Structure formats: structure tokens, C-alpha cells
Structure 1
Amino acid sequence: MRRKLAIVSIAAVAATGGAIAVMQPALAATGCSVKYTVTNQWPGGFGASVEITNTGDALTSWSLGWDFVAGQGIQQMWQAVPTVSGLHVTAKNESYNGAVPSGGKVAFGFNGSWTTANPVPGAFTLNGAACNGGTTTNQAPTVSLTSPAANATFSAPATIGIAANAADADGTVAKVEFYNGSTLLGTDTSAPYSYSWAGVAAGSYTLTAKAYDNMGLSTASTAVPVTVTTGGGNGAPSVALTSPTAGSTFTAPATVALAATASDSDGTVTKVDFYNGTTLLGSDTTAPYTYSWTGVAAGNYTVSAKATDNAGNTTSTSGTAITVTTGGDTGSHVDNPYVGAKGYVNSDWSALAAAEPGGSRVANTSTAIWIDRIAAITGANGAKGVRAHLDAALAQAAGGTPVVIEFVIYDLPNRDCAALASNGELKVSENGLARYKTEFIDPIAAIMSDSKYSSLRIVNVVEDDSLPNLVTNLGLANCAEANSSGAYVQGIQYALNKLHKNNIYNYLDIGHHAWLGWDSNLGPAVTLMANTVKGTTAGFNSVDGFISNTANYSALTEPYFTITTQVGGQSIRQSKWVDWNQYVDELSFTQGFRNALITAGFPSTLGMLIDTSRNGWGGTARPAGPSTSTDVNTFVNGSRIDRRIHAGNWCNQSGAGLGERPRATPATGIDAYVWIKPPGESDGSSTAIANSDGKGFDRMCDPTYTGNSLNGNNLTGALPNSPLSGAWFSGQFQQLMTNAYPAL
């Protein structure tokens, strides 16, 4: 609407001496104080949180500015939108958090990078005005390893003096910890910070120091490699521990048979000593070298062997971890929870499977429990809740063998943001992240942390499909909101922090090869996952590994071609099926992804899982050998055992079969093959079906659907479904049995 012009009378002009008094509108007063906290710091990276207190008039939008002074950078920000120009950073509000009342607060966080130093900013502006209410900062301490020098060499048995410098600009250094790899060697609480590591055997080691300030913030130093040799003289003997194998479990009071092979190329082996940690158990002077360790109490032990030759040279094996239980009570964290353990059988699913013709052949197979909504924690619609399943697992452990029980933790706000059938109950815009923490994760963590269950090995598959969606699907509104709000990253970090316990094992999802197998996806996915995990309290130690193919259909291995196969002078990567992907199956993808994660900083002990519940692809449609065609597309389509129309199709695929049964250590770097998706359960519905089981409608589940840009072709392979009916379960289950590979 156009404004009317004001009419000023001549009398008014005369009364003011000819001057017209114009009233200026009052400007909103801007005032603020800022709390800037470096929450965690590691070589080259850090996490930070920023809290703004509005000490001025109410705001409808805000923009906080500051300058980095040491070349730091922003990698990822949540609950604010960053703009970076040189060293200047501007963080602007998201669409949902711009309004801040007078006296109110608003917060955001980010992950950043640094090189030589990471000082906190000295000043902030809010909407262009300097913050006049003061700035509170907390910065992680600085730490550097001053001794030994990188690549220093020592002679075994070595004493290595480790020293570090540490300082905290805004408080005091509370302690400095010294590590070999991820193993804590010792702690010093006062400067000069040092530790003497004595009796070090020959080998290669990686030393670091980690400083903590009085607020609990920590920084790790750059790792320093050192080598301990067997010294001069003739060559040292060789030795290998042949028994027990890593991960072996015994029942107390145990008798553990130790055995080793040893030889010396330029002399003789005079003896082999057997150790538990640094404690000598016994010696043997003649081959075969053995020792019987009897009466061993419950606990976790690291056994090794040391060979000595006639010149006094020695060589020790690396430690082999074993566990002695009191009827299954480990109470400790092992490298691979599946080794020496049996899988929990969910009676809810087992009863359905056993009722099917031939179902008894698989009804006692371990499957995961999906905690996919708040109601599932206590149990809903006749199914057991978390505590009831754990109680049942305890009963199954009565024989003394440890039991692995698997849960899928799956209820992030804006869950599975690129799909419909698996959308969840929580929304970012409806305070979903806070509800996720307090109503979902906290109750689960409280139950799993009950000491009653300390003998169980609890495996959590944490929020499948979440982080992969932040790599490939940010063009979708729900995914963009999950990213900009930090809901996925913060939610997963919160879950890992709460669920990181001795007998709990956390595995994050990496999608599958037809999702992240391209170079443009795999690299960013590794970076996002590394930054997310590094931002937890325990850092890389908060996860035990990653899982691929969760509830999916990708073939474990394609037997008739590999990524290097050439057909008619063309690479199979040029085929429409492979589509320039770097991988053709799940095993090669999972092993390749694992190598990339280790390169990004994860420990070399990282384990991987592959869901093989529905990727068998047996039956009459399975090719018996490679195609003889010289056309690359014809060859691949005739040779591939995965019979879907497109490798990205996912909903209730026709022709799929049961895959490899769950088993431990099936391949290099793989902790286990697992059945995470209980066979026979539906992915979603082809029509909207009212239910409280979280089964949503998605056109991708409709066999008449002709496809879209996300799935390439049509979905004629998808089964029509009414997923709540027993008849549908029976049809799906029977198909999986018929097409099982290996055949049942």
C-alpha cells in the first residue's frame, strides 16, 4: 500500500522558527556475549561450539562474525550457515533459528581444520556490531612430543624415555597421557611431562602424547614412529606363537596350552619363554616349545613367546589376546565380538520362520532386533523390547559360550531422508534431535549399561543410511535439513558416546557398493565418517567397525567377473550395470572402504560386517558361468548373479535369496557375515497401510512403478506386499529359501 504524504501547517512552521522537526525512528539496540569452546582437538582438526547470548533487543535474524588468526578453516557447520572469506568467517542463522528474544541464547557447532596452531578468535560481531557483553572462550591445550625423535632406533630390551611439552592458554594442564598406538603406557600430572617405558621388545611402535586441560578438553600430538631392534651380533631368531589363536575363549579355572615354533639361521635356539603380559609363565629349552598354563582365573590376558639364541639375541611375538570367562562373563572389550561366541536367536522371528515349510533349517539363525521407534524400546505389538531380548540372550548364554546379540539403532530425526517407506517418527523441525537423545538413546543406553548384561556382547548397528545420505542426497529437502541442522552428525556422536562400553560394540553404516562405490562418493564418505567419529569423546575408539549392505541385496561376490575384466576391448566399468563404479560386489567394496578408513586414521584393527541375509541370488535364474558375448553389456547382464534390473533397487526384490549364514572372520578385514534384516520381513508397502509398525508407503515398493532418476529402470522385481499379513511373510520367506545361495 502506498504511504500518504504528511501535511505540515504554516503555523507549525512559524512556531519552530521555520524549521520542521522530523522524528527519527528508534534503532534496535544490538548487544551480545559469546561463549566459544574448542570441544575436541586432534592433529589437523578440531570441533567447536559457539553460544550467543542476545543482550540487546529481540532479533529476527542473526549473523555472527569473527576472524581466525592462524589460518584455520571450516569443514562442516551445523545449526548455522557459514561464509568464509580469507580468514573471516560469518555464521548466519538457519531458517528455523533466526528469532532470538532479548536475553535469549542460540548455539551452533562446527568441525574445523588447523595447521601450526589453533588459537581462539579474539573478538566477535553480531549483525555487524561488536559484541559488548564479553567473550568466554575455552581452548584445548597444546601438546608436542619432544622425545624420542621421529624414527629413533633402540636395542631390545629397550628403555625409551618419552617426554612432552603441554600448555593451556585459558587454564591449566591437568595431565598428559603417553600412548603406543591406542595402548595407554602411563600418565604424568605435572611438568615436565615424561614417562619411562621399560623392557620394550623388538618391533615398530608409534608414540603419541595426549594433553587434558582442567575442563576436560584434550589434544593429541603428532604420532612419532620408533623402532626397537634386536641389537648387534648374529641374526636374531624367529619365533611364532602357534597356540592359542587370537580371540580364544576358555572357561575358568582354565588350562591354556601355549605352543611356539622358533628357529635361528646362524646358531641355535637355547630357549623359548612364555609370557602373560610382562609376567614370565614358564620356559622350554627343546622343540617343540610348549607350556601348560593351569588354574587360570577369569579375565583378559595377552600371551606371547620370546626366543633366545646362543648369542643372547632375542625376538618376541606380538601379544595374542585371549579371554577366560566364568560361564560366559567376559566383562571386557575384545577385538572381534563374533570370535568364540554364538549368535542370539530372536524367538519372535524364529517362531515365524519355523512355521514355514523347511523353515527349521534356518529358524535357529541369529538375526538382529530393529529398534526403529521409541515404542520398540519397551516392546510393541507383541514383540519383545530391549530388556526382554537381553534377558532372553542371558538365558541362551547359560552354557558358558559368550552370546552376541545385535540391535539396529534406527530413529534419527529426518531418518532415511531420501526414502519414504523407512521414514521415521522424529522430525528436525519438531525438536527431533533433543527427543532422539532423551527419549530414544538415553533409555537404550541405560538398559544396555545394566551390569546384569555385562557377560553379553552387545552389537549395535548405528543409524544405517544416515551418513551416506549426507554424501549423495543433499539435493533433497529432508537431507539438506538433516545436514544443516547437524542432526545426523550430532545424533550419531551422542549415540556413540552413550553406547561406548566394555561389552558394547558399535558399527556404523556405509551403504553398499552401488551407493558409495564411485570415487566421487567414497572419498567424501570416508572424510565425513572420520570427522564424525573423531568428534566423539573416545574418538576412533568409539566405533569397532562399519557395516555394508544393511537390509540390502548387493551380491557378496560376483564369481564370473571382477572390476578389471575386459570384454571386446572394453572395461566392464563401461557397462550400464557397473556404470563406472570401482566395485562390482560387496566384499571387494567393504574391504576397499576399510582400507580407506584406515588411511584416514582409523586403527588397523578396524573390523567390518556385511549383511548377507538376502543377497544369495541362487535358484534357477543364477548364471552357471560367464557369458561368451563380446558385447560388454550383454556379457555383464548374462554373467552377473545379482538379477535385479538396477543395482540400486532395494524394496522387496523378487528373485533374491538367503545369503551366507552368519559366521565370524570369513575374509580379510571382515569381523563377520551377519543377518541384520530378518528374512521374510517387508521393506515397505506398495499401498498405504494403516499400522504402528513403521511400515510406510513408497512407490519404489510398487511392482507397477516405472522408476525414477534414483533407481534407473523400473521395479518389476519388487513384490506386491501387504507387509502386516502372515501370508505376505510366508511368500517372501519361501522365495528367500528357494533362491538361497549356498543352497540349504
Structure 2
Amino acid sequence: MSRTRTSILAALALVAGTAGTATAVVPADAGLSAIPCTVDYKVQNQWDTGFTAAVTVTNNGAAKSSWSLKWSYAGNQKITNYWNAKISQSGTAVTANNESYNGTLANGGSASFGFQGTYSGTNAVPGTFTLDGVTCNVDDGSGGGDNGGGTTDPSGRVDNPYAGAKVYVNPEWSAKAAAEPGGSRVSNQPTGVWLDRIAAINGVNGGMGLRDHLDKALTQKGSNEEVVQLVIYDLPGRDCAALASNGELGPTEIDKYKTQFIDPIAAILADPKYASLRIVTTIEIDSLPNLVTNTGSRPTATPNCDTMLANGNYIKGVGYALAKLGAIPNVYNYLDAGHHGWIGWDDNFGASANLFKQAATSEGATVNDVAGFITNTANYSALKEDHFTINDSVNGTSVRQSKWVDWNRYVDELSFAQAFRNQLVSVGFNSNIGMLIDTSRNGWGGTARPTAAGPKTSVDAYVDGGRYDRRIHVGNWCNQAGAGLGERPQASPAAGIDAYVWMKPPGESDGSSSAIANDEGKGFDRMCDPTYTGNARNGNSMSGALPNAPLSGHWFSAQFQQLMQNAYPPLP
């Protein structure tokens, strides 16, 4: 997922012992004190489908009263029983926490535990271990020689920040969700914290500011790894193709963006107090794709987007944010990549990847400042359409020719995100970038969810009868009627995907149904008006928006209730 890993030391030695035994060893060395911790992982017994292993962890740093050791398997190993540690596993990621009787680790002290597991194919010894977030078996640079170890990012970043970690539950959103009838079923889910104006850094109207959230995350963290999800969202001339999410900064206020928005955020995130947190930043939602699709001679072009393309302030702002935040070792930057119904067409797909590369190498940024990309943020595209594929045809007519697909190459968000990741790598982004998919509102469950493909009387009947996404048009984006909560947040759910996330907090409005005076810089967009008959960007279709919606970001109880009712997977 994250940056290109640089091999700074030799790999762990995999030593063949007696039959069915493998050991990861660290040779004794006078420079051992330069290694913050060491791990001895031994496969003691191994048979066709199972094995037992013994692990000893040694602490070479400050004394600990509790500890948490983590690693990931390269294969399909599953731990089934364990002793002398509390072990949990999520996908390939494993966490071993101390028992009450062996939590103390003095400087030079060791703790041992064991477990039984299953496997098929190969049973490779893990290459990297972390003790309380610090990579073991690797020289920390304070002296000594090569003492074994795996490869790691020199900054100390892990490959996937979500793997083996808790994710911050925003208490402000959680309280609103819990106050709704039935809301306690989801009020403990992690959601993004939106920094959508300068005032949000210190808190608006008595609400929590950035430091408040980070401090709260430290209390939630305990001895575990904790991810905090931030949305960085205040570009000059923000969201040039819409009005509901316009921002406070004018098109030319790039210096104000840098000095009054990004710099203060960076200063807070760089505070050593927060160094133990994994901070995921999602950079400027809905910005760069607008420069590809809504400029020039395209029928969807807007004067505001033409202005932002000409003055370069989207590119400069994103580049500056990536460089400034990417310099902080525990920050993981994910750049917004629209969604399949926006940049999945041939004309947009490659051009968007090239533009993202331009932004990621501007204002001092490099591709190493990009941990990955996020798609479908605050949108509704179905994660996976099961009843039709892009390769299907009906009576000789391709699914691509249906009104819904409209020559797009992708019919759902998962296939798009995986393919777009490959495209991004092909233009020069690091090969281990990962994707996030926002599943906060793309479940499309309830009684309207199709259970089979549509009839093959026509390609439109086939697609419309079988698609989960029930929007009138794929270009509709505001408070969509019939939507439901999607997959719950989870790490490493599919190849190339770092996590499914709820970056958009469910229940927060996309925009008001009618004009509402405000001091937040937010305009009225007709796409949020349920009576609106559309524009070129949604095929001149009805907007599909819910009525009586408040300003964007404000709590919308009716929407939250609908999302729970139509959740898929269903709520208990």
C-alpha cells in the first residue's frame, strides 16, 4: 500500500532445522542495542495442513508494562489455538497481546508464547514484526551493525495502516447516531473527521477541533494501533462543478490555503504527542477529477472549473498538502480518485491518472508522499454488481451500450478501484499503493434490492432489472433516495484494497434541498432539489434527491434512518 519499501538491512534468516522446522533468527552482535526489539519465531512442528510455532519477543528499549506484537502472513495461515498471549487475526494480520501475568518487559526482558495454526501450500515465516508499532529486528540507526531484519519504509510506516489496527470512532458523530432510533447498531463504527474550513481546525461552535480528536484517539487507542481518518478539504475555488460543497476560499487564495489551513494542520499532526497514531489523510475530495471532466469544450464544463485549470491552484494546493503532510512519519496520504461513474470512461481514465501524477510531483511533493487513493467518497456507487458484468451482451448488444452503463468500462466500484490502481502504478506511482473505498452509503439493500439479473428482452431491461445501484442516473450524487449503508469498515477486504471505510459520516447531508443562508461558504445546488430535472452531468435526469435536506455536513435524520433501513449487509 504505502511508499516504496527500501531494503535497509538484510532479510531475516530462514534457517532449515529438523524436518518441518523453520526459524527466523537474529544473530548475536555487539550492536544489538541499536535494535529496538527482536523476535525469534520458530515453527516447531509442521504437518500437511497444520503447524505449531513458538515466539519470543525481546524488548531492547524502555521498560513496558504491556505489549502488543504484530505481524502479517504472506500465505493463508490461520491461528486456531494459542497460549501465553491473547492472539487475534484479521485476514493475514495477526496481533498478539500480553496476558495479565507477562505484560512487564524490562529493558532486555523477553516474553514467550506459542500457538497452533493451519495452512496450505507454503508456510513462510513472517518477514516483519512490530512491537507497539516499532519494527523489530531492524537497526534504528543509533549504532551497531547489520543485525538481520526485513525491509521497511525508512520513515517507519507500515504497508497498510489499517491492518491490525482499531480505527477512531468520532464521539460527536457517534452521539448523533446513537440518539437516533436503532442508531446504536452502528454508532460504534469509525468515520472520517472532516476539516472543511480553517475554523474546523480549532473547532466550530464549541465542537471538537483537530487536537481534541487526536487526544480522544489516544484514549481510545490503549495498547493497540489506532488509525485516525481525516478529510483535508478546503481548496481555493473548491468543488468547481457543484455549489452545495463550495468552500470559503476564492479561486486565487492559494497562499491562504497553504499558510492558514495546511500549515496549522501539519504542525498539529507533527506533534510528538501523536506519533503513536496512524493518521490517514484523504486529500481534497472531488477536486482533481473536475479538471479532467468539467473543463474545456466538454458539455459538462463550467467556467469555475476552467478557471481552476488555468490558474493551477488545484494542482498547487494538492501538491503542497501532499508534501507538507507526507513529511510527517506517521501520516498516510490518500488522494481522492473520484468514482467509477466519473472517471471510468476511456476519455477520463488515463487522463485522470496522469493529472494525479502531475499534482503528486508539484510543490515539492513526490509519489512517495502518496500512500494510496480513495474512491467513492461521499458517493453511492455500488461496491460489486453481481448480476451483470461489462462483458455481458443481450441479443448481440453489449452491456456497455445500455443507458445506465453508457459506454463506461466499469459497472461497480471494486472493479474500478482495482483497475485504476494498476493504471496509477503504470504512470509512475509506487507499486504497493493501496486503495480505500468509501462504503458508507452504497449498500442499496432493502426490498428494492434485486436478487437476479433483469430480463433479456433488451440490454436496458437486463441491466436495470439486475443492478443494485437504484439511482436514476450514475451522475446523481446528492442525498439519494433509496440508498443504504454498505459494507462495514474493514481492513484488507480485497486484492489491492487497504480498507473499506466510512469516510463520509452517514447521516450528514450532501447539501440543502433549497437555498439556506449560511456563513459556511456553502451554496445551493439544484442537484439537491428533488424537483430538479437535471443537467448534462446527469443526462438531464431527475436528481433523485431526498426532500427537506439541511446544509451539507449538517445532520439529516431522515437520511440516516433510510440508510439503516436499506443497509446491505442488513443491520441486526
Inter-partner Cα distance in structure 2 for 1:472 and 1:425? 23
For residues 326 and 463 of structure 1, what CA distance do their matches in structure 2 show?
28
- Partner SS for 1:320: coil
Show the counterpart of 2:24: 274
Output the CA distance in 1 between the equivalents of 2:361 and 2:314: 15
Question: Partner residue of 1:458?
Answer: 279
| Counterpart-to-counterpart distance in 2, 1:285 and 1:639 | 49
Shift of 1:277: 9.7
Matching residue of 1:84 = none
**2:508 and 2:554 in contact (8 A); partners too:** no
**Which residue of 2 is the match for residue 235 of structure 1?**
none
Cα-Cα RMSD:
3.3
Q: What is the match of residue 322 of structure 1?
A: 129
Asked if 1:677 corresponds to 2:510, the answer is no
Would you say how many aligned residue pairs link Structure 1 and Structure 2? 480
Picking from 188, 192, 198, the partner of 1:368 is 192
CA distance in 2, matches of 1:735, 1:371: 26
Q: Counterpart in 1 of 2:229?
A: 406
1:436 to 252, 257, 273: 257
2:381–2:413 Cα contact (<8 Å) kept: yes
Alignment-derived partner of residue 56 in structure 2:
293
Structure ranking higher in strand proportion: 1
- Specify the alignment match of 2:439 in structure 1: 612
Task: State the partner residue of 1:557.
Answer: 384
In structure 1, distance between residues paired with 2:321 and 2:306: 21
CA change 1:503–1:655 in 2 (3 A) is: same
Q: Are 2:289 and 1:468 aligned?
A: yes
CA distance in 2 between counterparts of 1:725 and 1:610 reads: 21
In the TM superposition, what is the alpha-carbon distance from 1:408 to its structure 2 partner? 0.5
Q: Deviations over 1:707-728 (max 9, x none)?
A: 1111114335201234159997
The amino acid that maps onto 2:268 is: I
- Aligned to 1:735, the other structure's residue is in SS state helix
Task: Quote the offset at 1:352 in angstroms.
Answer: 0.9
Contact 1:412-1:426 at 8 Å conserved across structures: yes
Structure 2: gaps of 5 or more residues:
30-37, 47-51, 62-67, 75-121, 136-152, 296-300
Alpha-carbon distance, 1:513 to partner? 0.3
1:387 maps to 2:137: no
Letter of the structure 2 residue corresponding to residue 381 of structure 1? N
1:658 aligns with 2:421: no
Contact 1:276 1:302 in 2 (8 A): no
Offset at residue 327 of structure 1 (A): 11
Q: CA deviation at 1:269?
A: 6.1
Structure 2 counterpart of 1:274, which letter? A
Q: Given residue 293 of structure 2, which amino acid in structure 1 is its aligned partner?
A: T
Larger radius of gyration: 1
Map of 2:241 onto structure 1: 418
- After TM superposition, give the deviation of residue 534 of structure 1 in Å: 3.0
* Offset of residue 560 of structure 1: 0.5
Distance 1:653 1:720 in 2: 10
- Is the CA contact (8 Å cut-off) linking 1:460 and 1:506 kept in structure 2? yes
* C-alpha separation in 2, matches of 1:625 and 1:706: 30
Q: Which of 553, 564, 567 matches 1:737? A: 564
Residue 621 of structure 1 corresponds to which residue in structure 2? 448
Name which of 463, 472, 479 aligns with 1:636: 463
Aligned to 2:162: 338
Q: Distance in 1 between matches of 2:492 and 2:538?
A: 33
Compute the displacement of 1:403 (Å).
1.3
1:670 Cα deviation (Å)?
Answer: 0.3
Partner AA of 1:366 in structure 2: P
Secondary structure of the residue aligned to 2:505 is coil
Confirm or deny: 8 A CA contact 2:382 2:442 kept in the other structure: yes
Alignment partner, residue 603 of structure 1: 430
CA offsets, 1:306-331, max 9 Å, x none?
xxxxxxxxx99697232111899x99
Structure 1 match to 2:105: none
Structure 1 residues 290 and 383, CA, compared in 2 at 3 Å: closer, same or farther?
same
Q: Tell which deviates more after alignment, 723-732 or 638-647.
A: 723-732
Between the two proteins, what is the percent identity of the paired residues? 58
- Return closer, same or farther for 1:481/1:278 CA change in 2, 3 Å cut-off: farther
Residue 527 and residue 318 in structure 1: after superposition, are their counterparts in 2 closer, same or farther (change >3 A)?
farther
Give 1:513-592 correspondences, 5 Å limit.
513-535=340-362, 537=364, 539-592=366-419
Between the aligned partners of 1:416 and 1:320, the Cα distance in structure 2 is: 43
Distance of 1:285 and 1:344 partners within structure 2: 35
Residues 304 and 505 from structure 1, CA distance in 2 versus in 1: closer, same or farther, beyond 3 angstroms?
closer
Q: Is the 8 A contact 2:170 2:213 kept in 1?
A: yes
Q: Counting helix residues as a fraction of each chain, which structure ranks higher?
A: 2
Assess if the C-alpha contact under 8 Å between 2:511 and 2:551 holds in 1.
Answer: no
Matches within 5 A, 1:709-720: 709-720=536-547
1:498-517 map, 5 Å? 498-500=324-326, 501-517=328-344
Opposite residue 392 of structure 1, the aligned amino acid is K
Letter in 1 for 2:234: D
CA distance in structure 2 between the partners assigned to 1:681 and 1:338 by the alignment: 24
Q: Deviations over 1:259-291 (max 9, x none)?
A: x9x79xxxx969744145998976979753855
Contact 2:485/2:566 (<8 A) preserved = yes
Mapped contact 1:274–1:291 kept (Cα < 8 A) = no
Specify the alignment match of 2:316 in structure 1.
Answer: 490
Match for residue 78 of structure 2?
none
8 Å contact kept, 1:276–1:303: no
- Write the distance in 1 (CA, Å) between the matches of 2:241 and 2:552: 26
The separation in 1 between residues aligned to 2:460 and 2:55, in whole angstroms, is: 61
| Aligned 8 A contact 2:244 2:551 in 1 | no
Matched letter for residue 266 of structure 2: A
Is the 1:655–1:739 Cα contact (8 Å) retained in structure 2?
yes
What CA distance in whole angstroms lies between the structure 2 residues aligned with 1:293 and 1:538? 41
Alignment partner, residue 86 of structure 2: none
Report the CA distance shift for 1:691/1:295 in structure 2 as closer, same or farther (over 3 A): same
Query: How far apart are residue 692 of structure 1 and its match?
Result: 3.1
Residue pair 1:618, 1:739 contacting (<8 A) in 2 also: yes
Amino acid at match of 2:220: Q
3-state SS in 2 of match to 1:407: strand
Q: Which amino acid letter does the alignment assign opposite residue 374 of structure 1?
A: I
Secondary structure at 2:304 match in 1: helix
Residue 200 of structure 1: how far off its partner (Å):
8.2
Q: TM-score, normalised by structure 1?
A: 0.60
Query: Is this contact kept in 2: 1:550–1:611, CA < 8 A?
Result: yes
Aligned to 2:201: 377
Q: Name the SS of the counterpart of 2:268 in structure 1.
A: helix
Aligned partners of 2:473, 2:562: CA distance in 1, in Å? 20
